[in-house]
Amino acid sequence: MRGTYTIVISCKKSVNLRFGRLGRAKTLRGLYVYSGSALGQGAMSLEGRISRHSRSHKKIRWHVDYMTSKQWCTVKAAIYVESPRRLECDVNSMLVEMLNASPPLPHIGASDCKCRGHLMRVTSLREKALLKQIRAIYCKFGNPVYLAITRRSR
């Protein structure tokens, strides 16, 4: 499948984390969202990307991997919509506006666009309410699908 997705990440502790060449940032305990598009096949499909994000052991490739590879940060859920178009910037701008979300570093997870960031910290909502808001945003783009994630080690 092809489309756009948002994963919800729960971090159990605050740490100063390196995000590759982008630099270091204090990642605080709490909830984060990351939005991306998966328009390919296999590992580059929605299934492949979401599966990869939910694993802790992986080669670090994207900014979000620096967070999701840590044992104290786990992917809790994913919401996606099938689409042949890249929608992550539209979804992300709505997330920022509706959730008052902010990136730990400028342009984190968004090195190929002009967004403030695609990895955002959410402080205003608990997990259940956050998922409800994300689903409402995705309804504007199609019929969203929700996946609860159980972390896999490999």
Q: What is the pLDDT of residues 62-75, one digit of tens each?
A: 999 999 999 999 99
Encoded amino acid at 136, one letter:
A
Model's pTM, two decimal places? 0.94
Does residue 154 register a pLDDT over 80? no
Cα distances (angstroms) measured from residue 33 to each of 41, 42, 101 = 23, 23, 9
Question: What confidence tens digit (pLDDT) does each residue in 124-135 have?
Answer: 899 999 999 999
Residues 49-69: what's their mean pLDDT? 94
pLDDT attached to residue 152: 52
Question: What confidence tens digit (pLDDT) does each residue in 75-89 have?
Answer: 999 999 999 999 999
